[in-house]
Every structure is written in structure tokens, then in C-alpha cells.
Amino acid sequence: GENVEQHPSTLSVQEGDSAVIKCTYSDSASNYFPWYKQELGKRPQLIIDIRSNVGEKKDQRIAVTLNKTAKHFSLHITETQPEDSAVYFCAASILTGGGNKLTFGTGTQLKVEL
């Protein structure tokens, strides 16, 4: 089955700096890659996603890049703010007979320091 690895597990940056979180996946058939943000005590929320036919997608300060050949994708947050502090999860989705199945990474605890 699909295996998703995520690095780093913790990341501390100064406010205003950029943060990059990387994920690799094992199954080349994976075709959809969402990123979720989970603030302390709250639900995971989708912040950005990318499909396998696209190499890069940007939404304001957040961008995601995908390298299908290398089977890795990354989340980039620019001009970080304290409210960006949260756990970020990547996931890879593969289409099975029963529908799409999401496999998640282990999460990255991002801390933005003042």
C-alpha cells in the first residue's frame, strides 16, 4: 500500500521567515495531494491541494510543489505569522475500487516565533 513520509517532524522559524515541509510517497498511482492544518485542539482543515497533472499551485502565502518523477511534494509558507503555528499534515490519495483512499504523513509541528 501507499506510504507517505513527512519531514521535519518539528520546525521552528522566526516570524516573517519562510517554512518548507516535505513529503514523499511510494505509489506512483497517487494522483491527489492535500495539505491539512490542525491547530491545537481543533479539527484538521484543508489549506491547499494539488493534483498530479499540476506541478505547482499557489494561494496567497501558501504554495505546494509536486515532483512526480521523484515522488515528492512540498508545502511552502512565506512571510510566516504566529497564527501559522500548527501541525501540518500531508496526504496522498490513490483511486481504488471503492473510491479515493487518503494516506497521511506523520505531521509537522510548525512554531512561528516572534
Partner 1 sequence: ETGVTQTPRHLVMGMTNKKSLKCEQHLGHNAMYWYKQSAKKPLELMFVYSLEERVENNSVPSRFSPECPNSSHLFLHLHTLQPEDSALYLCASSQDTFQETQYFGPGTRLLVL
When the beta carbons of 12 and 45 are compared against partner 1, the nearer one is 45
- Cell numbers for 24: 514523499
Measured distance CA(65)–CA(75) in Å, rounded: 7
Measured distance CA(108)–CA(89) in Å, rounded: 7
Q: Work out whether 104 is an interface residue with partner 1 (CB under 8 A).
A: yes
Q: Work out whether 70 is an interface residue with partner 1 (CB under 8 A).
A: no
Handedness of CA 85, 38, 104, 77 (dihedral sign): negative
Q: Work out whether 21 is an interface residue with partner 1 (CB under 8 A).
A: no
Query: CB 89 → partner 1: shortest distance, Å?
Result: 7
Out of 21, 25, 44, 66, point to the residue binding partner 1 (CB under 8 A).
44
Query: For residue 92, which of 32, 35, 43, 47 has the smallest C-alpha distance?
Result: 32
Residues of this chain that interact with partner 1 (CB under 8 A) are: 4, 9, 32, 34, 36, 42-46, 49, 89, 93, 95, 98-107
